[in-house]
Amino acid sequence: MARPGATCPPPARRGMVAARALLFWALVYSYCGVCACIAGLRLLWSIGRRPGETFRWVVRENPPACLNDPSLGTHCYVRIKDSGLRFHYVAAGERGKPLMLLLHGFPEFWYSWRHQLREFKSEYRVVALDLRGYGETDAPSHKEYYKLDCLIADIKDILESLGYNKCVLIGHDWGGMIAWLVAICYPEMVTKLIVVNFPHPSVFTEYILRHPSQLIKSGYYFFFQMPWFPEFMFTLNDFKVLKSLFTSQATGIGRKGCRLTAEDIEAYLYVFSQPGALTGPINHYRTIFSCLPLQHHEVIMPTLLLWGEKDAFMEVEMAEITRIYVKNHFRLTILSEASHWLQQDQPDIVNKLIWTFLKEETKRKRE
């Protein structure tokens, strides 16, 4: 929307903007078609090899014991007044302590922060959230309810519902995208920002258009634009794709990492095998191309960016470029042997780096 009194751009410039927009959407839908064709070929290959196994889908009826481990905290629910949605979270640490809010990525849920819930509860009220559409949090049916504006507002409203006006905000992967945006839009609510394996959103949108290698790695963003088919592909062979994301040599936790146990894998399968459980998470991606690029960019609070160099989905070069958008103390640590699933892959190192950053910033303020 133009500001009152603002002059309209000349016709030539308007034409250039329209042409760029046309090319952008042509790229989006063309690549979406390519990804769909590749997925279709994989489906046919699977049917040809093991037709009986391809469509097997086991709904897990009971949660594994690890999801109710009391050492991780207490399961809680909060209903947001504006949206009316009920959010699920797990909280550890005493009420009244400074808030540390944890935002998971895809395809994850609150449990991906289990190592951090145990670690930081000594000094923080640690809250690991199920984002809108995930796990036990309500999942609106229409994709329009998953626009970035809604996801950012969720975090603001949850913070207030928990009785806080500021927090240490930590996000991984898609949760990292949301954490960056909350820090940009509501800087007064974020005392310190910690992001794991996701660059500043402006870096991501600019880099992906200039580097075909990253465009290929982000192919799932385009594939997810299709209705129902991505969810269907995840269910094949009893969620083989989900399992391989965390365990395969190509995308999973590295050889030197803290691998997921059989019970950990069952926790993920329990959550995502429920009917309709994948639609909300994938809907997060279905509005992304209409929400970026950003109008505002700067991050003004102390920021820590942690990065697993073996990330199969994000090129490490984006981590260093992120520095230009942070107008405060910025620390980048790249772990050479770590994967995309960094806080689960190298929990001890990640926790130590977070503690160092938090203590360092406290000392800096005192001085």
Mean pLDDT value across residues 173-192: 97
Report pLDDT digits (tens) over 271-298: 999 999 999 999 999 988 877 667 778 9
Which pLDDT band holds residue 4 (cuts at 50, 70, 90)?
very low
Work out the mean pLDDT of the chain and round it to a whole number. Answer: 91
Report pLDDT digits (tens) over 255-266: 889 999 999 999
Question: Would you state the pLDDT for residue 235?
Answer: 95
Report the C-alpha gap between 177 and 193 in whole angstroms. Answer: 12
| pLDDT over 90 (residue 314) | yes
Report pLDDT digits (tens) over 87-115: 999 999 999 999 999 999 999 999 999 99
Question: Would you state the pLDDT for residue 7?
Answer: 43
| pLDDT over 70 (residue 191) | yes
Report pLDDT digits (tens) over 21-31: 666 667 767 87
Report the C-alpha gap between 4 and 335 in whole angstroms. Answer: 49
Catalytic residues: 173, 285, 340
54 or 343, higher pLDDT: 343
Whether the model pTM is above 0.85: yes
Which pLDDT band holds residue 164 (cuts at 50, 70, 90)?
very high
CATH topology of domain 65-210+252-359: Rossmann fold (3.40.50)
Question: Would you state the pLDDT for residue 25?
Answer: 62
| pLDDT over 90 (residue 70) | yes
Which pLDDT band holds residue 1 (cuts at 50, 70, 90)?
very low
Q: How many CB atoms lie within 10 A of CB 262?
A: 7
Question: Would you state the pLDDT for residue 24?
Answer: 64
Mean pLDDT value across residues 35-51: 83
Q: What is the 3-state secondary structure (H, E, C) of the chain?
A: CCCCCCCCCCHHHHHHHHHHHHHHHHHHHHHHHHHHHHHHHHHHHHHHHCHHHHCCCCCCCCCCHHHHCHHHCEEEEEECCCCCCEEEEEEECCCCCCEEEEECCCCCCHHHHHHHHHHHCCCCEEEEECCCCCCCCCCCCCHHHHCHHHHHHHHHHHHHHCCCCCEEEEEECHHHHHHHHHHHHCHHHEEEEEEECCCCHHHHHHHHHHCHHHHHHCHHHHHCCCCCHHHHHHHHHHHHHHHHHHHCCCCCCCCCCCCCCHHHHHHHHHHHCCCCCCHHHHHCCCCHHHCCCCCCCCECCCEEEEEECCCCCCCCHHHHHHHHHECCCEEEEEECCCCCCHHHHCHHHHHHHHHHHHHHHHHHHHC
The domain limits of the chain are: 17-51, 65-210+252-359
Distance of CA 217 to CAs 34, 313, 336, Å?
A: 13, 5, 19
Report pLDDT digits (tens) over 323-366: 999 999 999 999 999 999 999 999 999 999 999 999 986 666 66
Name the residue among 208, 262, 245, 217 with its Cα closest to residue 64: 262
Which pLDDT band holds residue 312 (cuts at 50, 70, 90)?
very high
| pLDDT over 80 (residue 3) | no
Strand 86-92 to strand 74-79: parallel, antiparallel, or no bridges (unpaired)? Answer: antiparallel
